[in-house]
A and B are shown apart, each in its own frame.
Chain A
């Protein structure tokens, strides 16, 4: 009867390496491995819940108000926390509203993007469409970033827009 050949030395080394890594990871995550020093400030209950789960959460809505009026709203079908302040949102929608009248101004849609809840910025390397609420202008592109503070949208590539000719009256 033939005996099965002994495991080659390299396989034994690989197994030892994997076990060592597992031990190191377990040690790093244990409370005693945290660096000493003043305890960091608590991020708050809502952010803690987001970070703690790091799982996909259904439904996302982030209205932002100025002067008691919603000036823009982020929403999405689902989101996942990437960090304390960043969320990855699926089926993302951005709506902006006129600060005086409260009427909708722009609607932007992207299959996926990253939202910063502190800087109120949105960016994505994927496709985006944006439409003016009155239907006079719409555009699409690939890759974008939007900043509420600067009130600026940047399209990275393949911009295509359609417009009502009255919007660009100097051309008529």
Chain B
């Protein structure tokens, strides 16, 4: 070996690295599935298993169900049933959607979706947890209920936390109802104006009086 010159082993090292990197890169590219972009007005549904029964009109998905409608909501549960019916024109339409077991529902105005139900992000408006969430197209309602002898459904936002045995959001009439052991906790910052003192002088835009 000539002093000052790298040995044969050292000269081969870059080539070896190159040969190792090529298959490793290929593996990484193959393993990393590209995220499928949703088109406008499109949502996605992932689950371990599914069954589409066209006779009964029931689409059943179970085991790690994740439903994502960009800009509208994101839902996780263990069991989801889409119930369809045939309308007067003979067209199949969705009548109800029932999500059960470990339901987490996040309403959000932004995309992309969360990676898991425990993640939170900017743009999240409400987060609900329940045993069951029932979306009813005919009544225009979303109903959250708990399991018997189980935890109550809960709705959280940055301003409040709601608990009750049953919540019904009447989207058609813009009403929200919670009943049966209902509890509402407001965060102080959300209601600070209620407790503002009325003795302080009213502020005006008029210039200060000169003495």
Contact = CB atoms under 8 A, between A and B. Distances in A.
Contact of A165 (B36, B61, B72): B72
B168 interface: no
B193 interface: no
A137 to B, nearest CB: 9
A160 interface: yes
Contact of A169 (B48, B67, B73, B94): B94
Interface residues of A, number: 26
Interface in B47-62: 47-55, 61
Contacts of B41: 164-166
Interface in A98-137: 100
Dominant secondary structure of chain B at its interface with chain A:
strand
Interface residues of B, number: 32
A159 B61 contact: yes
B43 A162 contact: yes
Contacts of A141: 50
B167 interface: no
Contacts of A151: 53-55
A132 to B, nearest CB: 10
B53 A165 contact: no
A152 B44 contact: no
A131 to B, nearest CB: 12
Interface in A19-55: none
A94 interface: no
A154 B72 contact: no
A152 B93 CA distance: 18
A133 to B, nearest CB: 12
B53 A152 contact: yes
B201 to A, nearest CB: 49
A28 to B, nearest CB: 43
A4 interface: no
Contacts, number: 85
Contacts of B94: 167-170
B76 interface: no
Contact of B51 (A100, A155, A168): A155
A160 B46 contact: yes
Contacts of A163: 42-45
A118 B198 CA distance: 85
Nearest to A156: B49
Nearest to B52: A153
B70 to A, nearest CB: 9
Contacts of B96: 170
Contacts of A84: none
B97 interface: yes
B191 interface: no
Interface in B5-47: 36, 38, 41-47
Contacts of B97: 168, 170-171
26 contacts: A141-B50, A150-B53, A151-B53, A152-B53, A152-B55, A154-B49, A155-B49, A156-B49, A158-B48, A159-B50, A160-B44, A160-B46, A161-B50, A162-B43, A166-B41, A167-B94, A168-B82, A169-B93, A170-B137, A171-B43, A171-B69, A171-B72, A171-B73, A171-B97, A172-B69, A172-B72
Interface of B: 36, 38, 41-55, 61, 67, 69, 72-73, 82, 90, 93-97, 135-137
8 residue pairs, one from A and one from B, having the closest CB atoms: A170-B135, A170-B137, A159-B50, A161-B45, A155-B50, A151-B54, A153-B52, A151-B55
